[in-house]
């Protein structure tokens, strides 16, 4: 047996698993989405999906982009504090705490947020106990705000972990030179450190974008009102009507959104390589 045949034999189980669990469902979804009620190629499922759920498509994109924005800002603050912070107590406490949500499943995070952000939840009860608000002033955050809060809380540790590792690998002499010239830690972080780790930050945000786009439990459990995210619409079309064609059309739209994020990343990476000597 040649080395090429041996290599193919070794990777065959992995390829078979990818084909069975990813390529086959993807092909089935694409075929079903583009097949009409009478057979043949048709865009009826996409027209129906657009007529019924165009508002939810916009809502999904806005929620995920806003969550990525806040996640990136929170990750920059955490990673910058871990890398450039001088207070050992703050750095040590943050290092011990910030990674905890990374190991919590989305469904558990959604349930925690239901009890935390409800009108009579832990957050409002804590504010009332501290005298910061009256009980009648309490409002529920179990809507789009709760979805964003859950996504940001869940994904920030992942982005911060990658970003902190990239910041730790930067040549410290550059950062120390900025400090010696009188720049504040914030300015060193924004003007010297972040430009050097922007590719890593972009990778983390693209992965977070795709992850949040595919989550079902958070929008279903945290915000049950309309509009909602596409994952909830897909589940509803299948469970309530058995309408796999429309659900698969929504799935294809979700694929295209994910592909759009990946294309933006690839174009940025190719442009960076062309600029580099």
What is the distance between the alpha carbons of residues 92 and 35, in angstroms, rounded to a whole number?
Answer: 57
Closest residue by Cα to residue 100 from 177, 40, 158? 158
Whether the Cβ atoms of residue 89 and residue 108 lie closer than 8 Å to each other: no
What is the distance between the alpha carbons of residues 195 and 160, in angstroms, rounded to a whole number?
Answer: 16
Give the per-residue pLDDT at 53: 93
Give the per-residue pLDDT at 137: 85
Backbone angles phi, psi at 133, to 5 degrees: -155, 160
Q: Is the peptide bond before 113 cis (omega within 30 degrees of 0)?
A: no
DSSP string, 72-128: HHHHHHHHHHHHH---HHHHHHHHHHTTGGGGS-HHHHHHHHHHHHSTTSHHHHHHH
Q: What is the DSSP letter of 35?
A: B
Predicted confidence pLDDT, tens digits, the chain (277 residues): 678 888 888 889 988 999 998 888 888 888 888 988 777 888 899 999 999 999 999 999 999 999 999 999 999 999 988 888 878 888 888 888 888 888 899 999 999 999 999 888 889 999 899 888 888 888 888 889 999 999 999 999 999 999 988 888 888 787 888 877 788 888 888 888 888 888 889 889 998 999 999 899 999 999 877 788 999 999 999 998 888 899 999 999 998 888 888 787 777 766 656 545 5
Give the per-residue pLDDT at 22: 86
The neighbour count for residue 151, using CB atoms within 10 Å, is: 27
Longest dimension (CA), the chain: 78
Give the per-residue pLDDT at 271: 65
Residue 253, classed as helix, strand or coil, is: helix
What is the distance between the alpha carbons of residues 154 and 105, in angstroms, rounded to a whole number?
Answer: 9
The neighbour count for residue 265, using CB atoms within 10 Å, is: 17
> What does the block give as tokens for 47?
């027209």
Whether the Cβ atoms of residue 109 and residue 218 lie closer than 8 Å to each other: yes
């Amino acid at each position: 047996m040649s080395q090429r045949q041996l290599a193919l034999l070794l990777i065959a189980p992995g390829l078979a698993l990818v084909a069975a669990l990813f390529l086959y469902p993807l092909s089935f979804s694409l075929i079903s989405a583009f097949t009409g009620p009478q057979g043949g190629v048709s865009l009826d499922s996409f027209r129906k999906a657009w007529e019924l759920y165009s508002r939810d498509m916009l809502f999904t994109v806005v929620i995920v982009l806003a969550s990525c924005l806040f996640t990136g800002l929170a990750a920059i603050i955490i990673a910058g504090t871990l890398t450039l912070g001088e207070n050992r107590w703050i750095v040590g406490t943050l290092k011990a705490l910030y990674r905890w949500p990374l190991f919590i499943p989305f469904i558990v995070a959604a349930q925690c947020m239901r009890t935390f952000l409800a009108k009579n939840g832990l957050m409002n009860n804590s504010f009332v106990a501290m005298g910061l608000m009256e009980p009648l002033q309490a409002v529920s955050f179990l809507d789009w705000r709760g979805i964003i809060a859950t996504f940001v809380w869940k994904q920030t540790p992942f982005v911060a972990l990658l970003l902190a590792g990239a910041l730790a690998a930067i040549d410290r002499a550059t950062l120390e030179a900025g400090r010696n010239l009188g720049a504040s830690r914030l300015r060193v972080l924004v003007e010297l450190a972040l430009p050097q780790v922007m590719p890593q930050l972009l990778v983390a945000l693209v992965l977070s974008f795709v992850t949040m786009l595919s989550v079902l439990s958070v929008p279903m459990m945290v915000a049950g009102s309309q509009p909602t995210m596409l994952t909830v619409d897909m589940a509803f079309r299948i469970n309530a009507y058995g309408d796999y064609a429309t659900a698969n059309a929504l799935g294809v739209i979700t694929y295209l959104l994910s592909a759009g994020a990946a294309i933006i990343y690839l174009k940025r990476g190719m442009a960076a390589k062309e600029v580099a000597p």
